[in-house]
Amino acid sequence: MVTAKVWVLKKHFEGFPKTSDFDLKKIELPELKDGELLLESVFLSVDPYMRPYSQRDMKEGDIMIGTQVARILESKNPAFTVGTFVVASSGWRTHFISDGKDLQLLPSSWPESLPKSLALGTVGMPGVTAYFGLLEVCKVKPGETVLVNAAAGAVGSVVGQLAKIGGCKVVGCAGSDDKVAYLKKIGFDEAFNYKTVTSLDEALRKASPDGYDCFFDNVGGEFASIAINQMKKYGRIAVCGAISQYNDSVPQQGPYLQVPMIFKELRMEGFIVTRWNNRRKEALKALLKWVVEGKVKCHEQVTEGFENMPAAFIGMLKGENLGKAIVKV
Ligand SMILES: NC(=O)C1=CN([C@@H]2O[C@H](COP(=O)(O)OP(=O)(O)OC[C@H]3O[C@@H](n4cnc5c(N)ncnc54)[C@H](OP(=O)(O)O)[C@@H]3O)[C@@H](O)[C@H]2O)C=CC1
Ligand SMILES: CCCCC/C=C\CC(=O)/C=C/C=C/C=C/[C@@H](O)CCCC(=O)O
């Protein structure tokens, strides 16, 4: 019998999650039935969506939702061999049983030398989010100017690099000077620390005096309200996330956006990456190629130890991560 360790949501979050909102439990896993697989998590992802989704989709006592790169330890399923690595959405667990239907094999062209943890970041859901958000929502064109916030994160850093590959000028903002230096290192044309500039409005105007064609919004809130006033005519806004609001006990009531939307004839569209699940392989193939070619740089914020998952999650929400936040079991 294998004992799995799991993190459960002990208490729904009030404001920022606290480590006391989680409980570490042990579960004895049953013997495999025909067609089943036993897997161990090798890397686990901590993502912002877990904050609002836990409120919407989870009950207290549920195992935290989430995804992992896992290794097959035992197989009674002829389609999967022991030792194979897969991406699963089994939540915050060290071990779990699957019938294989919910598992995604890594692309066959995955180089042995490439960290498999990237399947949770640049060559995984965040990277796919950047890919389709930019191509299908922003519909970015060469020569345009793209603005992205949370730019040093899992999604934002890919957005900026894909926009550069697409021949755009890219402006990014992040919450530390180290992150700003990283953005310039990976090719952003302009980058600033939104926490230290005296005026967001001035910083945005200085970075692109003519304004922005596309705004890839990961943050929402006040930043978005200011940025919208610097959009060019016919600009497009991809509403990817609103992390500035996820931890609000009382929802912020922002200013009204209708006047700039009308006068600038803007298009603003919210999206969830699962919209393009049928084209996921297309995005992963392109992202993997760009990473292997060195055109897309990756950075991971690795927290060691399953017991540190809550701390890694809270740290990411507080901006302590540069690049994709993951936990190495
Ligand atoms: N629509 C979709 O399908 C998807 C949406 N998303 C969304 O994209 C966004 C980025 O996700 P992801 O790349 O995984 O996360 P990141 O790796 O970017 O980590 C979150 C980052 O958000 C920034 N942040 C946190 N709080 C605030 C705040 N109050 N104001 C401004 N910035 C803040 C921090 O960076 P900093 O130092 O810059 O403050 C932090 O590092 C999130 O909003 C997420 O919900 C992600 C995946 C799919
Ligand atoms: C304050 C309201 C916030 C609404 C927007 C919330 C989140 C946006 C976002 O981050 C969406 C992310 C979607 C991620 C989808 C991931 C799937 O590929 C896997 C999901 C895993 C699971 O469901 O367990």
What are the domain boundaries of the chain? 2-120+299-328, 125-274
Tokens 């598992």, residue? Answer: 103
Question: 2-120+299-328 belongs to which CATH class?
Answer: alpha beta
> What ligand has the least distance to the C-alpha of 119?
2
**Residue 133 per-residue DSSP state:** I
- Ligand 1 pocket (Cβ < 6 Å) reads 47-49, 126, 129, 150, 152-156, 174-176, 179, 218-219, 240-241, 243-244, 271-273, 316-317, 319, 321, 324-325
Query: DSSP letters along 44-68, please?
Result: EE--TTHHHHHHHH--TTSBPP--E
Per-residue pLDDT tens, the chain, 329 aa: give them. Answer: 899 999 999 999 999 999 999 999 999 999 999 999 999 999 999 999 999 999 999 999 999 999 999 999 999 999 999 999 999 999 999 999 999 999 999 988 999 999 999 999 999 999 999 999 999 999 999 999 999 999 999 999 999 999 999 999 999 999 999 999 999 999 999 999 999 999 999 999 999 999 999 999 999 999 999 999 999 999 999 999 999 999 998 888 877 899 999 999 999 999 999 999 999 999 999 999 999 999 999 999 999 999 999 999 999 999 999 999 999 99
Which pTM was predicted? 0.97
- Cα distances from 78 to residues 37, 74, 98, 107, in angstroms, run 10, 11, 13, 19
Q: Which atom of ligand 1 is nearest to the CA of 242?
A: 43
At residue 116, φ and ψ (nearest 5 deg) are -70, -15
Fold of 125-274: Rossmann fold (3.40.50)
Q: How far is the CA of 291 from the centre of ligand 2 (A)?
A: 24
In this predicted complex, what is the ipTM?
A: 0.94
CA–CA separation, 71 and 329 (whole Å): 12
